[in-house]
A and B are shown apart, each in its own frame.
Chain A
Amino acid sequence: MSTSRPDVLHLQSDIAYSLPIGHMPDAGGHFGRFGGRFAAETLMRPLKEIEDAFFEAWNDPAFHAERLDLLKNYVGRATPLYHARRLSEENGGARIWLKREDLNHTGAHKINNTIGQGLLARRMGKKKVLAETGAGQHGVATATVAALFGMQCDIYMGREDVERQMPNVLRMRLLGANVIPVDSGTATLKDAVNEALRNWVASCEDTFYIFGTAAGPHPFPLMVRQFHTVIGQEARAQIIEQAGRLPDAVVACVGGGSNAMGMLHPFRDDEVRLVAVEAAGHGLDSGEHAASLAAGKPGILHGNLTYLLEDDEGQIQGTHSISAGLDYPGVGPELAFMLEEGRLQLDAATDDEALQALQLLTRTEGIIPALESSHALAAGLRIARDMNPDQIVVINLSGRGDKDMNTVFRHLGWMEDAS
């Protein structure tokens, strides 16, 4: 791996979350054989402009000062690292700590990234932003930042997700965003990305594409990772402060990989198991899941080379997960790289396991997690059960469950139309 720009990510600051960070992709954005910039010619210049603006901003203390001020006073960081004693006891095995990204403004980790990219958009003089969204959390976080910075905002969302995440659709509208339902293909997140890309091609002169996960063409995987590493940096400092040592395992769910990269990356050079949890849907054998790393193979989609769920001829397949935010047939290229490098431990949780974990946490700790985060929780609980009480597992609670209540109630049979 090239370290051609080792200096740029070493900004020193008095704030704990600007520790030195390594593991850079090569100049073309490749993490080993993954990543890159597989984009249409029309997007090559806008992507290069974002890359240049990102590196320039990252080296500017004033950019970080404003970003960190917003993360603290607007988003509410640092988020707590919470020792879930009753959950640990009920579960047995290792002691469990939860990183409370659910307590961020707008209810998920997504806003760490939209604050960063929103500031970058403003710095580049863009008047409009657009984004894709699956669960609607990234859409809400983008619409929020657009309102904060006085920018026009278009959000592309698959028709199916519009229907299952209606509260978030309405929040985006209230925030002044224009929500555009996407009917093409499978009418879910991948199709929303396609449609956002198509519209960005036509509007890139005055519009910034705030990409929502650590995937897509370079520089998005790197940039989104950097804006989210605040999660793992805080967690690392907090666990040392509270438990006096590093954890044995750190666990995060994976849709595209933004909360996972943000949480896991700062522990990469430590002797800590890094666990990425994919959505196993109705089970990995059922064919109805969204586990790109576990069941996919390398391919090229949405601007990067990574693991994809596809048929024998490279046609992208429909996915299934109870959580809209994990319902994506690809994964960030750096996670693919870390897996092949042997630095990532892969795990998966089914719809049912996620639902059970959600209920267990709710009843033992009074915390209702997002369905996405419940996948990390389910796998984290399983891992903890095989450990002893001296050991520590940190689980990233990437978001809160409010948006998922209708889905959960339906599955519990408390509302009609159980699916």
Chain B
Amino acid sequence: MKQPDIRSARLRRTFERCSNEGRSALVGYLTAGDPDIATSLELLQTLAGQVDILEIGMPFSDPMADGPVIQAASERALEAGTHIGDVFALTRRVRDAHPDLGIVLMGYANVPYAMGFDAFAEKAKACGADGVLMVDIPPEEGGICDDALAGQGLDRILLLSPTSPEERIRLVCENATGFIYYVSLTGITGADMGDMDDIRARVERIKSLGRLPVCVGFGIKTPEQAARVAAFADGVVVGSHFVSQIAHAANACEMRDCMSSSAEQMRRAVAAAT
């Protein structure tokens, strides 16, 4: 049976609202528990006030697809004693304060696998998440999690990359729900962006093959880059740039201020793009 394109009503409304406003969605990423649970809550709430969709990272000991910035975030979170239960609790708090925000839990397969995907999906739903993105579960391996996520009405967000050939674009378009995350460079998070014309052509190809919104991320560090991507993508994902505000700030107060102002800049850039 064909799955609905977007399971989460909240994600659907978010993309509709942005489209009605003639702009891309701004998607922000932070690792839960970074640099500690209390500060993380403040930072997530700050970012939640500025973005359309919040990606909440589940810290993992071996973040293979992440660059130094997000690796360090995972290490800080784990060192601060962040458990998966804390990730759900933080998500719940953000959800309560932001009823319309799209929320995606993002991470690696082993943490949800360890608790069992049924239990994981149930808890993710209960804490108010709309979708789940697991970097190391491609559609071919979806058998271990797809039913559990669908059973809770959670979207299964999948990635595409510059190395994805035509048949994989089709495979991902058939299996993803919610939105497609286009990785704009052949590398890990935080590296430099690829060629903009190339990214645009790829995104247009993906959109012509599927019906899902396409969000573009990896490497977007400046409002100018965000604006250029916003001109053709349904969503602009900013991760390492927001996470790096945490590493650079001297204290929690400064972190919050930096987060707020960099998110504000990104939001304006995305809103102004045409």
Bound-complex Cα distance A315 to B84 (A) = 10
Segment at the B interface, from A306-314, A362-370, A398-406 = A306-314
Within 170-203 of A, Cβ neighbours of B (below 8 Å) are at: 184-185, 190-191, 194, 197-198, 201-202
Find out whether the CB atom of B138 lies under 8 angstroms from the CB atom of A44: yes
Number of A-B contacts (CB under 8 A): 116
Q: A308-B110, A310-B110 are in contact. Are A44 and B64 (CB under 8 A)?
A: no
Bound-complex Cα distance A419 to B190 (A) = 39
Interface residue A344 (Cβ < 8 Å from any Cβ of B): no
Find out whether the CB atom of B71 lies under 8 angstroms from the CB atom of A184: yes
Residues of B close to A301: CB separation below 8 A: 62, 110
Find out whether the CB atom of B113 lies under 8 angstroms from the CB atom of A299: yes
Q: Which of B66, B71, B163 contacts A204 (CB 8 A)?
A: B163
Find out whether the CB atom of B65 lies under 8 angstroms from the CB atom of A299: no
Residues of B close to A375: CB separation below 8 A: none
Interface residue A316 (Cβ < 8 Å from any Cβ of B): yes
Residues of B close to A308: CB separation below 8 A: 110
Q: Chain A's nearest CB lies how many Å from the CB of B202? A: 13
Find out whether the CB atom of B64 lies under 8 angstroms from the CB atom of A194: yes
Bound-complex Cα distance A37 to B78 (A) = 27
Q: A28-B140, A197-B64, A202-B187 are in contact. Are A313 and B161 (CB under 8 A)?
A: no
Find out whether the CB atom of B111 lies under 8 angstroms from the CB atom of A313: yes
B64, B71, B110, B112 pick with most chain A CB within 10 angstroms: B64
Residues of B close to A45: CB separation below 8 A: 163-165, 168
Find out whether the CB atom of A205 lies under 8 angstroms from the CB atom of B186: yes
Within 46-91 of B, Cβ neighbours of A (below 8 Å) are at: 60-67, 71, 75, 78, 83-84
Q: Chain A's nearest CB lies how many Å from the CB of B217? A: 13
Residues of A close to B101: CB separation below 8 A: none
Q: Chain B's nearest CB lies how many Å from the CB of A216? A: 11
Interface residue A38 (Cβ < 8 Å from any Cβ of B): yes
Within 127-165 of B, Cβ neighbours of A (below 8 Å) are at: 135-138, 140-141, 144, 158-165
Residues of B close to A44: CB separation below 8 A: 138, 140, 163-164, 168
Q: Chain A's nearest CB lies how many Å from the CB of B68? A: 8
Q: Chain B's nearest CB lies how many Å from the CB of A263? A: 29
Interface residue B258 (Cβ < 8 Å from any Cβ of A): no
Q: Which of A202, A204, A303, A315 contacts B111 (CB 8 A)?
A: A315
Interface residue A1 (Cβ < 8 Å from any Cβ of B): no
Identify the closest chain A residue to B187 (Cβ). Answer: A202
Interface residue A242 (Cβ < 8 Å from any Cβ of B): no
Identify the closest chain B residue to A198 (Cβ). Answer: B188
Find out whether the CB atom of B62 lies under 8 angstroms from the CB atom of A36: no
Residues of B close to A190: CB separation below 8 A: 62
Identify the closest chain B residue to A297 (Cβ). Answer: B114
Within 228-269 of B, Cβ neighbours of A (below 8 Å) are at: none
Q: Which of A28, A41, A198, A299 contacts B64 (CB 8 A)?
A: A198
Find out whether the CB atom of B113 lies under 8 angstroms from the CB atom of A300: yes
Q: Chain A's nearest CB lies how many Å from the CB of B156? A: 13
Interface residue A287 (Cβ < 8 Å from any Cβ of B): no
Interface residue A302 (Cβ < 8 Å from any Cβ of B): yes
Residues of B close to A15: CB separation below 8 A: none
Residues of B close to A41: CB separation below 8 A: 138, 158-161, 163-164, 168, 172, 183
What are 20 pairs between A and B in contact, CB < 8 Å?
A38-B138, A39-B138, A44-B140, A45-B168, A198-B64, A198-B65, A198-B66, A198-B67, A198-B188, A201-B186, A202-B186, A202-B188, A299-B114, A300-B136, A301-B62, A308-B110, A313-B114, A313-B115, A314-B112, A314-B114
